[in-house]
Amino acid sequence: MRRDKLITTFILVGLVAGVILGQWLHGAASDPTAVGNQWMDVGKLILVRPLMLLVLPLVFLSVVVGVTSIGDPSRLGVIGGSTLLYYFSTMLAAVILGAVLVTAISPGVGLSEEAVASLQNDGAAAYETNSGLRNAMGTANEKGLAGAWMNILEQIIPTNFFAELAGGRTLGVIVFALLLGLALAASGTAGAPAIAVFQSLFDGVMRLVLWILWLTPIGVFMLVTGTVAKIGLGSIAGPLGAYMLTVLAGLALHAFVTLPLVLMIFTRTNPYAFFFKMRKALLIAFGTDSSSATLPVTIETAIDEGGCSKRSSNFVLPLGATVNMDGTALYEAVAVVFMFQLWGIELGVGELVIVVVTATLAAVGAAGIPSAGLVTMVIVVTAVNTSLAGRGIQPLPLEAIGVIIGVDRILDMCRTTVNVWGDAVGARIITRLAPDDDDPPPLPA
């Protein structure tokens, strides 16, 4: 317990020191972008890569262990169904909140002509220079909405387990782990040795997580320093300030009002006390920008400190890190509507509904890695453009996304934190359906 408190305090110190040093570097360095990138590269080496190393083995093992401990397929069906219902209803609530806020605040309306022109030019230039992002977006754009669905379906029905592992596609790994877990549980005594091996491997990987945790303060310090050095806190006061504040307000409302209400209704626990207990994972999500990289710590914190059952955490958190992204969904809705506002294109109610539906899909399709939401946003833009074309209105050029690239990392830190918070709330709620202390499920004869 003392170790956890110590690490969390160190992470917090690293984070605050990172903001201060980063802001100083932003003003003092001759090329803040290059300096920021260097700090971030070292931070990735120290923290993100070691954590990512554990993610796929952990996803596989924790789902197998979780499913075998739940055992009974019909019980698993109830738990799985409730989990999916929780994911989609909270994501929908987040995205609707985002759409309402961006429409009410209208951060892209009322800027001076010069400000709009300079944002558009800078955005086009940023889009041009960022070839990696441009290519990823180009592919997503070509495939369109049907392609996005197909991509998710193909991941759910994989053909080669090892290709899914090698490609880092967690959804396919989860599906196989789920099926294998079910089969092992149904095998009775014949499955018991394999279950024991997987359980023991899971415990081993979790011990590795505890060791890697000691790297988190320095890693978070380097990553935050790099991000703030690159972007600078002053961006909040720039022409994109209103947009950033809209995203941040939406994330704050979802994290501190909507999710706590849901948690309170279903578990009658104090949501803010639970938030505090989960703070280690939330701080790491903020620092690493990646719900996948945070997953090992999310599982550890939820079980050891958050009062979530192993059964629930092992099942809900790996799936949540891949599928459940409340923060990303909300952000995509705000960002897309903002860009249309900036280009002076008015969206009707029909288009807003398209934004809500496709932003949820885009968030599901986004991997739990930095900037994933920025890429899948193309799906939303393309869908709205198609609807506008039907009304004879000019589409939004894809390079519009360049406008928000520059400040994205800061927003990414915040939305990733909300993504992980949403997963943790889910694990806490599902703990009621899958507690650890009830009778172990009877093995079928």
Distances (CA, A) of 94 to 70, 106, 221, 323, 324: 30, 18, 30, 14, 11
In the set 180, 231, 278, 289, which binds ligand ASP (CB under 6 A)? 289
Residue 356 binding ligand ASP, by CB under 6 A: no
Closest distance of CB 320 from ligand ASP, Å: 10
Nearer to ligand ASP, 180 or 400 (CB): 400
In the set 224, 229, 295, 325, which binds ligand ASP (CB under 6 A)? 325
In the set 328, 341, 382, 431, which binds ligand ASP (CB under 6 A)? 328
Residue 372 binding ligand ASP, by CB under 6 A: yes
Residue 360 binding ligand ASP, by CB under 6 A: no
Closest distance of CB 372 from ligand ASP, Å: 4
Q: Give the CB-nearest residue to ligand ASP.
A: 373
Pick from 304, 311, 320: which is nearest to 421 by CA?
Answer: 320
Residue 370 binding ligand ASP, by CB under 6 A: yes
Structure tokens at 430: 């599902």
Rounded to whole angstroms, how far apart are CA atoms 332 and 433? 32
Rounded to whole angstroms, how far apart are CA atoms 143 and 322? 21
Residue 298 binding ligand ASP, by CB under 6 A: no
The number of residues that bind ligand ASP (CB under 6 A) is: 16
In the set 290, 312, 387, 431, which binds ligand ASP (CB under 6 A)? 290
Tell me 372's DSSP state: H
Closest distance of CB 98 from ligand ASP, Å: 13
Span of 12-20, 268-276, 284-292, 352-360 interacting with ligand ASP by CB under 6 A: 284-292
Rounded to whole angstroms, how far apart are CA atoms 232 and 31? 12
Contacts of the segment 209-215: beta carbons below 8 A, 24+ positions apart? 209/54, 209/58, 209/296, 209/297, 209/299, 209/300, 210/300, 212/47, 212/50, 212/51, 212/54, 212/296, 213/7, 213/280, 213/297, 213/300, 214/7, 215/46, 215/47, 215/50
Nearer to ligand ASP, 180 or 251 (CB): 251
**CA contacts within 13 A on the Cβ side of 79:** 29
Residue 291 binding ligand ASP, by CB under 6 A: yes
Q: What residues numbered 393-422 form the site for ligand ASP, per CB under 6 A?
A: 412, 415-416, 419
Answer yes or no: are the C-beta atoms of 356 and 99 closer than 8 Å. yes
Residue 366 binding ligand ASP, by CB under 6 A: yes
Answer yes or no: are the C-beta atoms of 224 and 15 closer than 8 Å. yes
Span of 105-113, 223-231, 283-291, 336-344 interacting with ligand ASP by CB under 6 A: 283-291
Rounded to whole angstroms, how far apart are CA atoms 25 and 224? 12
Closest distance of CB 350 from ligand ASP, Å: 26
Residue 423 binding ligand ASP, by CB under 6 A: no
**Contact set with ligand ASP (CB under 6 A):** 289-291, 325, 328, 366, 368-373, 412, 415-416, 419
